[in-house]
Amino acid sequence: MSLLRKIRDTGRVAEDAPPRPQGERPAVAGEFGGSVQVRCVDAGSCNGCEIEIAAAFNPVYDAERYGARLVASPRHADVALVTGPVTRNMAEPLRRTVAAMGEPRLVVAVGDCAINCGEFAGGYGVEGAVADVVPVDLAVPGCPPRPDEIIVALRTVTGR
């Protein structure tokens, strides 16, 4: 079998689209026009959530088809995906990162640790949850959350 025939017969290989988001959209989400630039910030996590975020943007789940694109600089970002409990050493860098983002902006707490410190609650090096350091607009629960749950949060922001 030739390679081209195999490609043609295989077709598109991707996960089914998650259902459209049902909840309320954040107030500023309508200003993004269906497309957002996303900056990921690890505030002290175990890297479980980062692996799932990477999976959400890989070719299988393909978060970019819903208008979300990863960027390297907070100055280019509309949305910050923050993972992990905020450590004492990351509290000020997280504040500066969010302050460097243009208006309007959204902060999404990804994972149980970002929402309520999870397993790290009460640790000597933990400043607190993300909401204790910067205002949070959306939360994605789970330890770690599945890629399709992250995509649902991004679709809530983009409206697509």
Instruction: Tell me the C-alpha distance between 74 and 11, whole Å.
Output: 37
pLDDT digits (tens, 9 = 90+) for 120-148: 888 899 999 999 999 999 999 998 999 98
Q: What is the pLDDT of residue 137?
A: 92
Six token digits for residue 118: 């999870």
pLDDT band at residue 159 using 50, 70 and 90 as cut-offs: confident
pLDDT digits (tens, 9 = 90+) for 7-51: 788 776 666 766 677 777 887 877 888 889 999 999 999 999 999
Please give the angle made by the CA atoms of 77, 50 and 136, to the nearest 5 degrees. Answer: 50
Q: Which residues contact 133 (CB under 8 A, 6 or more apart)?
A: 43, 86, 91, 94, 95, 127
Dihedral angle sign, alpha carbons of residues 96, 30, 24, 157: negative
Q: Which residues are paired to 41 by β-bridges?
A: 82
Instruction: Tell me the C-alpha distance between 117 and 111, whole Å.
Output: 9
- Segment 53-72 mean pLDDT: 92
* Helix pair angle (48-56, 147-158), 10° resolution: 60
- Segment 47-59 mean pLDDT: 93
pLDDT digits (tens, 9 = 90+) for 83-114: 999 999 999 999 999 999 999 999 999 999 99
Q: What is the pLDDT of residue 70?
A: 94
